[in-house]
Amino acid sequence: MTSPPESGRRANLLDYDLEGLAAFCASLGEKRFRATQLFRWIHQRGARDFDQMTDLAKSLRDKLKACATIEGLAVASRQESADGTIKWLFDVGGGNAVEAVYIPEADRATLCVSSQAGCAVGCRFCSTGHQGFSRNLTTGEIVAQLWYAEHHLREQLGTRERVISNVVMMGMGEPLQNYSALVPALRVMLDDHGYGLSRRRVTVSTSGVVPMMDRLAQDCPVALAVSLHAPGDALRDNLVPLNRKYPLAELLDACNRYLEHAPRDFITFEYCMLDGVNDQPEHARELIELVRHHAGRGVNCKLNLIPFNPFPQSGLTRSPHSRVAAFAALLSDAGIVTTVRKTRGDDIAAACGQLAGDVKDRTRVGERIARQRTVILKRAPAGAVAKES
Ligand code: SAH
Ligand code: SF4
């Protein structure tokens, strides 16, 4: 139950899904339909202050002004790529900044949204992981990325129609390690009075936080992408350290449980192609075996191969195009729907895994990765051509 904020602290209405806003309105003695009106003003019309809300009584507007705000994020920078991709850097205070990326395509327009300032998982090939972890974003800070981008773009394009059709939680951070803020944010995206996005067009991407995958299936089943990156535990332990806690067998079982509730009948497996590390034919064969025969039934999935987007500290390189094509062909020939992700916005470092923002590492994840760098590549399975920087 939401109570009115203590004096001096105004509630940020971007923090609430419709239920939360209704509870907040109830605490002010206002009926539920007022919450719906407010919610629509904020998310559908992009209202920034209460005086814009002309169908609310002046007395209510004054009441709201006293105890609530609509507080977006400060834009620290905006970069536009030659291909139309736009990357915003948002200042979230305390020396931290996070990024969101708009990717227009012929048949859709996707916003890639961040969930944390930094990330504690510390994947070897990810720029955010190398930055370490500072803090979780609030629901309001997650929603504000979409709220800002959608209304800014409408203004820029001179339209009142919806611009963003898809959201992917593939920016900075591990969304399922910020679960309590994530779920209300997803609800705002899905709500017909909010952004009205279908569950199939909102994707949570996870490195495999198994218990939270189960909770998401119950609380808010949206499309799921799972960052696989390796066909066996030995290699995955090193690339995605969370694998030591939730190894592949448990992860794939969780995928199958998720599919019972998912809006799509497949999981998207993301696989970042790292030169000489996980891109050999034997890795493809092991991967086919895993996704087709795990627990005797496999997992209904699509494979999305992501050419590695390099960044200076990683010491890794992108697999050559021919090797990605050969890997994709082996998977396709085995009957697995496989796509190779187009790299967008790389002239502005907006591609997957390049989002670094500016994070104050409070957990020393960055240092840990730097120390492990040598060890990791030495442990790559036989046949992998380990590269050392
Ligand atoms: N933490 C979540 C979501 C954010 S990362 C996750 O890991 O799934 C979004 C996607 O970008 C993930 O699939 C991730 O593995 C991939 N990625 C990270 N760094 C990358 C890089 N340097 N090049 C290509 N893809 C990368
Ligand atoms: Fe975190 Fe995802 Fe990057 Fe891994 S790939 S460090 S989980 S943001």
As for how many domains the chain has, the answer is 2
In a domain, 389, yes or no: no
Instruction: Tell me, yes or no, whether 37 and 90 share the same domain.
Output: no
User: Among 69, 84, 109, which residue terminates a domain?
Assistant: 69
Residue 21 CA to residue 40 CA, distance in Å, equals 11
Q: Which residue has the tokens 């003003």?
A: 41
Instruction: Tell me, yes or no, whether 26 and 90 share the same domain.
Output: no
Question: Minimal CA–CA distance to 365: which of 96, 127, 113?
Answer: 127
Instruction: Tell me, yes or no, whether 184 and 306 share the same domain.
Output: yes
Joined together, the tokens standing for residue 348 give 């502005």
Any ligand 1 atom below 6 A from CB of 174 = yes
Instruction: Tell me, yes or no, whether 37 and 156 share the same domain.
Output: no
User: Among 19, 38, 69, which residue terminates a domain?
Assistant: 69
- Please report the pLDDT score of residue 379 as a whole number: 38
Instruction: Tell me, yes or no, whether 38 and 148 share the same domain.
Output: no
Any ligand 2 atom below 6 A from CB of 238 = no
Joined together, the tokens standing for residue 369 give 């990765």
What's the pTM? Answer: 0.93
- Please report the pLDDT score of residue 312 as a whole number: 84
Q: Give the domain CATH number at 276.
A: 3.20.20.70
In a domain, 371, yes or no: yes
In a domain, 236, yes or no: yes
Question: Minimal CA–CA distance to 317: which of 379, 271, 273, 367?
Answer: 273
Residue 115 phi/psi, 5-degree rounding, is -120, -15
In a domain, 3, yes or no: no
Nearest CA to ligand 1 atom 4: 170
Q: Which of 227, 236, 355 to mutate to test the pocket of ligand 2 (most atoms within 8 A of CB)?
A: 227
In a domain, 384, yes or no: no
Nearest CA to ligand 1 atom 3: 170
Instruction: Tell me, yes or no, whether 230 and 205 share the same domain.
Output: yes
Any ligand 1 atom below 6 A from CB of 149 = no
Instruction: Tell me, yes or no, whether 57 and 83 share the same domain.
Output: no
What string of DSSP letters covers 1-55?
---PPPTT--EEGGG--HHHHHHHHHHTT--HHHHHHHHIIIIIT---SGGG-TT
Q: What's the pLDDT tens digit per position in 220-239?
A: 999 999 999 999 999 999 99
Q: Which of 112, 128, 270, 311 to mutate to test the pocket of ligand 2 (most atoms within 8 A of CB)?
A: 128
User: Among 69, 98, 115, which residue terminates a domain?
Assistant: 69
- List CB contacts of 370: < 8 A, sequence separation 6 or more: 130, 313
- Please report the pLDDT score of residue 376 as a whole number: 42
- Please report the pLDDT score of residue 363 as a whole number: 72
Q: Give the side-chain half-sphere CA count within 13 A for 226.
A: 31
Residue 345 CA to residue 366 CA, distance in Å, equals 25
Instruction: Tell me, yes or no, whether 20 and 157 share the same domain.
Output: no
Strand order in the sheet with 202-206: 74-80, 86-93, 96-104, 109-112, 166-169, 202-206, 223-227, 267-273, 301-307, 338-340
Instruction: Tell me, yes or no, whether 346 and 219 share the same domain.
Output: yes
Any ligand 1 atom below 6 A from CB of 209 = no
Domain limits for position 252: 74-379
Any ligand 2 atom below 6 A from CB of 207 = yes
> H-type helices in the chain, by residue range?
18-27, 32-39, 58-67, 127-131, 139-157, 179-190, 210-219, 233-239, 248-259, 281-293, 321-333, 365-378
Residue 189 CA to residue 197 CA, distance in Å, equals 6
Instruction: Tell me, yes or no, whether 23 and 147 share the same domain.
Output: no
Residue 269 phi/psi, 5-degree rounding, is -95, 125
Judged on CB neighbours under 10 Å (0-12, 13-18, 19+), 385 is: exposed
Instruction: Tell me, yes or no, whether 41 and 88 share the same domain.
Output: no
In a domain, 1, yes or no: no
Torsion sign (Cα): 61, 66, 70, 75: positive
Question: Minimal CA–CA distance to 140: which of 60, 1, 21, 22?
Answer: 21
In a domain, 6, yes or no: no
Q: Hey, is 280 helix, strand or coil?
A: coil
Question: Minimal CA–CA distance to 119: which of 101, 139, 144, 99?
Answer: 99
Is 6 assigned a catalytic role? no
Is 301 assigned a catalytic role? no
Residue at 183: amino acid letter: V
Annotated catalytic residue: which of 25, 30, 99, 119? 99
385 Cα–ligand 1 center, Å: 22
Per-position pLDDT tens, the chain of length 389? 445 555 468 999 999 999 999 999 999 999 999 999 999 999 999 999 999 999 999 999 999 999 999 999 999 999 999 999 999 999 999 999 999 999 999 999 999 999 999 999 999 999 999 999 999 999 999 999 999 999 999 999 999 999 999 999 999 999 999 999 999 999 999 999 999 999 999 999 999 999 999 999 999 999 999 999 999 999 999 999 999 999 999 999 999 999 999 999 999 999 999 999 999 999 999 999 999 999 999 999 999 999 999 888 899 999 999 999 999 999 999 999 999 998 778 777 776 666 666 677 777 776 767 666 544 443 333 333 333 22
Instruction: Tell me, yes or no, whether 146 and 274 share the same domain.
Output: yes
Any ligand 2 atom below 6 A from CB of 122 = yes
Question: Minimal CA–CA distance to 326: which of 338, 308, 343, 310?
Answer: 338
In a domain, 4, yes or no: no
Q: Give the domain CATH number at 44.
A: 1.10.150.530
Q: Which of 229, 251, 270, 313 to mutate to test the pocket of ligand 1 (most atoms within 8 A of CB)?
A: 270
- Please report the pLDDT score of residue 326 as a whole number: 98
